[in-house]
Amino acid sequence: MRQERLSGILCHPTSLPGMNPIGTLGAQALAFVDFLAAARQGLWQILPLNPTGPDGSPYNARSALAGNPLLIDLERLLARGLLRDCDLPGNGDSGMAEVDFAEADAFAEPALRAAFARFREMAPSELTTRFLAFRRAQQDWLEDYALFAALRKAHAGVPWWGWDDELARRDPAAIDTWRRRLRDEIAYQAFLQFLVDDQWATVRRYANARGVRIIGDIPIYVALDSADVWANQTLFALTPEGQPSVVAGVPPDLFSATGQLWGNPCYRWDVMAEQGYRWWAARFRRALEQCDLVRLDHFRGFAAGWQVPAGEETAIGGRWAPGPGRAFFERLAAALGPLPIIVEDLGVITDDVHQLRQELGYPGMKVLQFAFDGTGDNPYLPHNYDPNCVVYTGTHDNDTTNSWYQSLDSMARAQVDRYLGPHDPDAAWALLRLAQASVARSAIAPLQDVLSLGAEARMNTPGTAECNWRWRYRPGYLTSGLAHRLSELSECYGRAPRR
């Protein structure tokens, strides 16, 4: 049976507009779905929904399974009777042009605690029943995460390896003592997870009902200061002091001459295999509860991962260490059924990585910004595509297409122009058309490219820790004219969802 050709937009919920210091899962999320439906886009790709650290990176989260409480929409809590007008913080008259993660936390915290207090005061209700059911259903990860979040709060944000040794090493007596001591805070943290899950489920149902499928994201690595590492220390290459012996990264590539030193702890794949990859199965199961399909980050790490000795200043001195390979995916498929995933196979890709993806049959990624190196056999040029792929104008790690085009030297720009032929002077829309016209099964563009924005709208610059993940679009950007223009393109190239 021939698979449907589709197109879509990459936009993380934090980038939605609104009066809060960060985009939330309220009315603006539903309005974005309405825009996608009007524009005949069948896919909405997001970044990981997990709770972030102070840098705001969804790839450096406090948990691989929990949701980000900053996404909770307070207006929806008001409508449900969990908040009163006086509980809502003042928020100016136009919202913030960029995401401010520290301000978002300060903005929402008092209101969320007021909502929890109100919830506990209420007589048993349908909401109470659903919260208790959620807590039971998700207890395998939720109780560890809620305890971890409560402990970080009690220790003023000190990382877990800085706690008392008995607690850092999860001595059962110490865990029981702190569970009793922090019972209310643990319940509060679990309640926040219930709210995120409930609001996101509403958004997803709304999208699916309008023919829009959600593409989620599973990062390969997790943060050292996370509930995942604290609760599963034997699964990671750690020293007796709780520090990584080796850290993850990638060798020098198109993004960085010294490679990327991510700093995440590396996995002990042998221990994970002995446990039947149970921890990974829980991650995939949770992701597929929330999304229709998922992008699996850094697929090449499952063939071999770049490991750098802890303490190195760059990633140059690392080495390739074998990953779990095909057996990993076969074990997960046996536990969960066929995995609806897109694999991120960018960067330094060797023959074994290509072979693994082809054997498994998963679609890979093609990025048009990588296509123009002067050679006709470049795998990112559309005439070289196998249909089993997803093509992007750029990703969250790329500059916007218009800024990228302007930064090209004259020879590279000439190659782009020669390949495109007579084309729209707006480079973003010229590449958007090229993506949609390709044989790739799916074509996706970051919203910044759909809006023809420049460097000011870049989401992330790999290898840097400052000023990333902050972009959000402004009210009024998603016009009916823009939706019509995009729908015409998708209909022209057979990508409009079937009615």
* Active site residues per annotation: 297, 344, 397
Chain centroid, CA 42 distance in Å: 19
Chain centroid, CA 478 distance in Å: 22
Going by C-alpha positions, the residue among 296, 350, 365 that lies closest to residue 328 is: 296
* Residue the block writes with tokens 């489920």: 201
Residue 323: which region, alpha, beta or left (left: phi > 0; alpha: psi -120 to 50)? beta
The CB-side HSE value for 333 (13 A sphere, CA atoms) comes to: 12
Chain centroid, CA 22 distance in Å: 16
| CA 478 to each of CA 16, 447, 483: distance values in angstroms, whole numbers, following the listed order | 11, 10, 7
Report the 10 Å Cβ neighbour count for 10: 26
Q: Which string of DSSP letters, residue by residue, matches 425-466?
A: SSHHHHHHHHHHHSS-SEEEEEHHHHTT--GGG----TT--S
* Residue the block writes with tokens 């015409």: 488
The CB-side HSE value for 164 (13 A sphere, CA atoms) comes to: 11
Size (the chain), residues: 499
Distance, CA of 21 to CA of 97 (rounded, Å)? 8
* Residue the block writes with tokens 């709208």: 457
Task: Collect all residues with Cβ–Cβ distance below 8 Å to 368 and sequence separation of at least 6.
Answer: 380, 382, 391, 392, 393, 394, 401, 431, 434, 435
Pairing of strands 304-309, 246-250: antiparallel
The tokens describing 243, both together, are 């520090």
User: Any idea what the Cα angle at residue 177 is, between residues 173 and 179, rounded to 5°?
Assistant: 115
Going by C-alpha positions, the residue among 453, 489, 498 that lies closest to residue 471 is: 453
Distance, CA of 29 to CA of 12 (rounded, Å)? 10
Going by C-alpha positions, the residue among 296, 306, 303, 298 that lies closest to residue 350 is: 303
Pairing of strands 213-218, 43-45: parallel
